[in-house]
Amino acid sequence: MNKIRYIVKIIKMFFKIVLYIAKTVFVALPRLLKNFFNFISKRLRFSITFKTTSTYTLIFSVILFILCTAFICIFSLFLIYESNQLLIRNSLVISNLLKDEGEIPQDKINDFARIEDISVIIFDKDGQQVYAVGETKNIISKRINLNYPLIEITPSTSLNESLHYKSRIKLINGVGTMEISKDLEKERFYLAALIIAVVLFVILAIIMTIIIGSKTSRRMLRPIDNMTRTARSISFGDLNTRLDVVDSHDELKEMAETFNEMLERIQSSVEQQNVFVSDASHELRTPIAVIQGYSNLLQRWGKEERDVLDESIIAIKNESDYMKELVEKLLFLASADKKAQKFEMNPFLLNELLDEVLKETRMIDTNHIISGEIDDNIRVYGERGLIKQALRIFMDNSLKYTPAEGSIKLSSLLGKREVMITVEDTGAGISAEDLPYIFNRFYKADKSRSREAGGTGLGLSIAKWIIEQHQGSIKVESTPNKGTKIIILLPALPPAQE
């Protein structure tokens, strides 16, 4: 029972140490680490490799320190426990010698005490010392005299203390008392050797962790260095460079792919902007050249010749109107690109707008057959003026490229969730090669007739942008020399409740 109680006490002591360490680690340490890293981050600038290596080295060191501390504590308790057990066994051996000899066998006890490195004191029934072997003075000075019953060990909780064991023995003149003591010098040496070995192991492990962790982190983060160098080499004039996509399927690969996709979008935008500027310059160069030519003509002969004066005035007026239209459309697209175009979205009746477009078209054009087939009570949500502008662009295009006496039909059909608007003509049509590009800015399928018809090549781009801003879509069907059909789909609102 005494042995069991002693083991239970050691186990309780061990768990108290473990709980205290765990409480320190899981409560105080995270807060200290957070404050430490915040302090370092605010005052110093380190590379990701250094931060990663330092962080994991610190975490590894803390875990290793806790494990080694727990191991040393367990080993220390084990040494104390084994020394206690050894002292009990020695006491039993000496007690058996006393029983066998009757008198105190001093030679045998001396040899046994020297071999086992223990001290023995025997007291008679009156408490007088009758025999002693070993460092008795040292034993008495270090003795922890607790009021334990006889035949019990005086427990030691530290290797700095001596172990003592008292038991009753039978002497010739009666029952006496024997006390056996053991200094824990060897155990302290073993523990010190273990601590030195553990410290050296921890230092070596930390150094290896720093070296291996630094190399591993540098190798893992090498793609970031490559990305940085590549990004620095990319200029506005050279956007063809792309990042190398790493082989591993991790966040770095995803970041590289995302960066390359961003470069693709930037390059596409820059190229589109360059084409836009080039085309705009080209479109403005022609009317400016015409105006300058007629101005020089007026300066030379137009003052005296009436025909030259009239021709020059008409030409300058036409080119000025064309330039005004072009500049207005350019400003509109520039505002749209900056997302600065303002909308006043409101629900309105689309059928009324379509009727209005039909009426105005018939008023300005009498050379074509213009018809309509419009459903009643069609409600949509959007900017009425912009949608009308888009429809006028489609109607004007049909008028320009449909021969006289040709037909143009504007119709609408209401579905469950959307309305389909159709602009269909019997004009020149669009070839299959040109069809995918008709909504590009300044693109003109019929280069020879576009200036003749007064087109700028921006109208369809503006119309497409307006429809897309209203969550709609456009589909074009065309056959050369037979006609073109433009299908517009817009979200429809439920009919108004009366």
User: What is the number of other CB atoms lying within 10 angstroms of the CB of residue 192?
Assistant: 11
Of 140, 137, 99, 92, the residue nearest 116 (C-alpha): 92
Evaluate whether 411 touches 373 at the Cβ level (below 8 Å): yes
Evaluate whether 353 touches 384 at the Cβ level (below 8 Å): yes
Strands 369-373 and 407-414: parallel
Per-residue tokens: 151: 């035949």
pLDDT at 442 over 90: no
pLDDT band at residue 139 under the 50/70/90 scheme: very low
- Cα separation, 402 vs 455, in Å, equals 14
What is the set of domains in the chain, with CATH numbers? 2-190 (3.30.450.20), 251-337 (1.10.287.130), 346-491 (3.30.565.10)
Q: How does pLDDT run across 93-124, given as a tens digit for each residue?
A: 887 777 765 577 777 878 888 888 888 888 87
**End-to-end Cα, the chain, rounded Å:** 97
Evaluate whether 277 touches 288 at the Cβ level (below 8 Å): no
User: What is the number of other CB atoms lying within 10 angstroms of the CB of residue 46?
Assistant: 12
DSSP annotation of 301:
I
Residue 240 has φ and ψ, to the nearest 5°, of -85, -15
Mean pLDDT estimate for the chain: 76
Q: State the pLDDT at residue 248.
A: 57
- Cα separation, 56 vs 253, in Å, equals 23
Highest mean pLDDT among 133-137, 148-152, 251-255: 251-255
Q: How many CA atoms lie within 13 A of 212 on its CB side?
A: 9
Q: State the pLDDT at residue 459.
A: 80
Name the residue with higher pLDDT: 37 or 224: 224
Q: Which alpha helices (H) appear in 221-302, and where do they start and end?
A: 222-233, 251-297
pLDDT band at residue 28 under the 50/70/90 scheme: low
Q: State the pLDDT at residue 122.
A: 83
Q: State the pLDDT at residue 435.
A: 85
